[in-house]
Amino acid sequence: MRPSFSHMPSLMALMVNSLEISVVFFLISLLAICFFFFFINKKTHAVFPTNWPFLGMLPALLQMLHQIYDYSADLLESSNMTFLLKGPWFAGIDMLITVDPANIHHIMSSNFLNYTKGPEFNEVFEVFGEAIFNTDSDLWKDKRKSAQVMLNHHGFQRFTLSTTVNKIKKGLVPLLDHAAKLNVALDLQDVFQRFAFDTTFFLVSGFDAKSLSIEMPEVELARALDDAEEAIVYRHVKPKFLWRMQNWIGFGSEKKIRRARETFDRVCRRYISVKREEIRTGFHSEGESMDLLTSYMNLDTTKYKLLNPKEDQFLQDIILTFMVAGTNTIASALSWLFWILSKNPNAVAKIREEISTKLPSTGNLEHSFDPAELNKLVYLHGALCETLRLYPPVPFQRKSPIKPDILPSGHKVDAKLKIIFAVYALGRARAVWGDDASEFKPERWISDNGGLKHVPSFKFYSFGTGPRTCLGRDVAFVQMKLVAMELLQNYDFKVVEGHLVEPVVSMILQMKHGLKVTVTKMCLA
C-alpha cells in the first residue's frame, strides 16, 4: 500500500512555521544577550547577577568569566557562602555554588553515597577516558584500590624520590645555571611544567620525555593536556547541545578537545606498544623499574573488578589519569609559591634559616631521601599550605546528588542540580579563615609548640576530603619540598618588572602570562 501524500502541504507548512519560530526565538535571545553586553552593562558587573527571563544568569557569568575566580569569591562572601546560579531555561546548567565547610563535609563524607560525579561529569571529561576522577561506584572503588596499592608500594616510593632528585639535578639545575650565567629572563611556570611533566611521565611510563632542557622543546602530549584542560572549563558554562554541536563540527574550544583526543590516542598507544615489547623481550628485569605502566601490565586481575586491565584503552586511561593528577597540579603549586615568595622576602629568609638549621647537611640533595627528614621543615610546609589555600591547583570541583537532599546550610538539592565547590573562593572566605584570609601567613599552620597545626580537610580542600581524598598528597608534598629546598638554597629569583601575573580560566589554576623571572646563583660560603 502506497503512502498518502494528501496532507503533505499542511505538514510542510507546519515544519516551516516551527523552523521560523525557532529561528526567531534564537534571534531574540541573541539580541537580548547583545543588548545586555553592549548597552546595559559595560561597567563591572554587580556582585549579584541579574536573573534574566529565558537566559537566567548566563550573561553575567559569561561577562565575568575572565575573572571568575575573584568574582566567585566576592559573590560567595556576599551570600553567606552558598549561592544558587540559575542558567538558561531548560539548559540544565543550574549550579549551587558553595564554600560552606559544613556543606562540603556533608557531601564528601557524611552523605558521600548520595553524591557522585554523575554521567554528565563523565561526559564533560570524556576526553580523559575512564579516569579515577571521573568514574563512580564499583569501577571507581576498584581503580582507586589498585592505584592506592601502587602508590603505597615501597619500591614505587623509592622510585619517586630517585626520579624527582635526578630530574632536579640533571634538568632543573643545569637550566637555571644557564639562565643565571646568560642573565636572561626565564618563564618559571614553563620550567616547572616541564619538570612536573618529565617527572610524572617517567613515573607513569618509565620513559623520559626530556622536555626540561636548555632547548625547551615542545612536547605534543603536554600541549594536548593543556588544551584539553582549558577547553573543558567552557563545557561547564555552555548548554550541552551547544558544545556537543561545536565538537561535532569541530570549531571553537571544542576543536582543541578533538585535537587533544587524537594526540592522546596516538602518543599513548605508541608508548604502550613499546612498553609491552620491553616486557615481552625481558628488557627490564623484575624490580628494576617500578613505573606504573609496567605495574598495571603485570597486574593480578583477580584482585580487582577492572574492565580489560591489559587492553590499550584501559592503559591509556591510566596514563592520562596520572598525568592529569601529577603534572600541571604540581607545576601550578610551585609557580604560585615562588611568585608569593618573591613578594615576601622575610618568608624566604625563614625557609632558608629553617633548612640550614634543621637539615644542615643538605648541600647534597640525597640527604633528603628520607621523607621523615622533610617533616622537620615546618615553616616550608606552612608556606606550601598557604599557597595551596590561596591558589589551589584545581579551583573548582563538581558533584551531583542522586536523591533529593537538604544541605546543612538549609539549601534543597535535587538530581538535576549541579553542586560546585569553589575551592579558590573557599581559601579566601573570611567566615572560614578570619579577616586575614587574603594574607599569606605560613604561621597560620604552625602550632604554639612549633609543630604543624591540624586543619580539617573539608576546610583546606586542595587535596579533597573524605573517601575521594587525593591519593598523591604525600608524594606531592615531598616533590614540592625537594624542589623548593634546592632552588631556595642556591638561587635568587626576581619577577621581571611590569610582568602581569593573573590566573587563566582553566581546569588547572595557571598563570595566564607565565612567570617571567631573572635568576641569580647564590655564592655559598
Dist CA 197 CA 29 (whole Å): 44
Residue ranges in 282-412 assigned as alpha helix (H): 292-297, 312-326, 328-342, 345-358, 371-374, 378-390
Q: Looking at the DSSP assignment, which residues form a beta bridge with residue 186? A: 517
State the pTM of this model. Answer: 0.86
Comparing 6-15, 461-470, 487-496, 514-523, the range with the smallest average pLDDT is 6-15
Q: What is the pLDDT of residue 308?
A: 57
CB atoms within 10 A of CB 131: 22
Grid cell for residue 325: 593528577
Is residue 192 exposed (0-12), middle (13-18) or buried (19+ Cβ within 10 Å)?
buried
Q: What is the pLDDT of residues 402-422, one digit of tens each?
A: 999 999 999 999 988 999 999
Which helix (H) or strand (E) covers residue 205, if one does?
Answer: helix 188-205
Averaged over 189-196, what is the pLDDT?
A: 97
The region, left, alpha or beta by phi > 0 then psi within -120 to 50, assigned to residue 56 is left
Residues facing residue 432 across a β-bridge? none
20-38 pLDDT per residue, tens: 444 344 444 544 444 444 4
Would you say 509 and 195 are in contact if contact means Cβ atoms under 8 Å apart? no
Residue 359: pLDDT over 90: no
- Give 152's contacts (C-beta < 8 A, 6+ positions apart): none
Give residue 335's identity as a one-letter amino acid code: S
Share of the chain above pLDDT 90, in %: 57
pLDDT of residue 24: 40
Give bridge partners of residue 521 from the DSSP assignment.
491
pLDDT at 142: 84
In order, the DSSP letters of 8-23 are HHHHHHHHHHHHHHHH
Better-predicted residue by pLDDT, 286 or 213: 213
Q: What is the pLDDT of residue 9?
A: 37
Rounded CA separation 497/24 (Å): 52
Q: 98 forms bridges with which residues in the sheet?
A: 82, 421
Q: Do the bridges between strand 418-422 and strand 95-98 make them parallel or antiparallel, or are there none, so unpaired?
A: parallel
Burial class (CB in 10 A: 0-12, 13-18, 19+), 184: exposed
Give the cell for residue 369.
631521601
- DSSP class of residue 507 equals S
Higher pLDDT, 146 or 491: 491
Give the span between the Cα atoms of 345 and 337, in whole angstroms. 12
In this predicted structure, the answer to whether residue 336 has a pLDDT above a threshold of 80 is yes
Q: What is the pLDDT of residues 495-508, one digit of tens each?
A: 999 999 999 988 89
Distance of CA 101 to the CA centre of its chain: 20
Q: Give the dihedral sign, CA 333/339/341/344.
A: negative
Model pLDDT for residues 251-301, shown as the tens digit of each residue: 888 899 999 999 999 999 999 999 988 888 876 544 456 899 998 888 776
HSE-CB at 372 with a 13 A cutoff on CA atoms is 0
- Residue range 415-470, pLDDT digits in tens: 889 999 999 999 999 999 999 999 999 999 999 999 999 999 999 999 999 999 99
Q: Cα-flanking dihedrals φ and ψ of residue 516, to 5°?
A: -80, 120
Q: In the chain, what percentage of residues exceed pLDDT 70?
A: 86
Confidence band of 305 (pLDDT split at 50, 70, 90) = low
Burial of 25 per CB tally in 10 Å (0-12, 13-18, 19+):
exposed
- Identify the band that residue 185 occupies on the pLDDT scale cut at 50, 70 and 90: very high
How far from chain centre, in Å, is Cα 520?
Answer: 31
Q: Which domains does the chain have, with CATH numbers?
A: 132-521 (1.10.630.10)
Q: Per-residue DSSP letters for 30-54?
A: HHHHHHIIIII--SPPPSSPP-BTT
Q: Please state, in angstroms and rounded to a whole number, the distance separating the CA atoms of residues 88 and 58.
A: 7
Sign of the torsion angle spanned by Cα atoms 372, 377, 381, 387: negative
Pairing of strands 516-521, 491-495: antiparallel
**Distance between CA 192 and CA 326 in Å, rounded?**
12
Q: Residue 14: what pLDDT?
A: 35
Residue that wins the pLDDT comparison between 300 and 126: 126
CA–CA dist 164, 162 (Å, integer)? 6
Q: How far apart are the first and last CA of the chain?
A: 100
3-state secondary structure of 503: strand
What's the confidence (pLDDT) of residue 284?
58
Place of cell 611568585: 339
335 close to 510: Cβ distance less than 8 angstroms: yes
Structure confidence at residue 361 as a pLDDT band (50, 70, 90): low
Q: Which of 38-47, 296-305, 337-346 is predicted least confidently? A: 38-47
Q: Mean pLDDT throughout 364-391?
A: 85
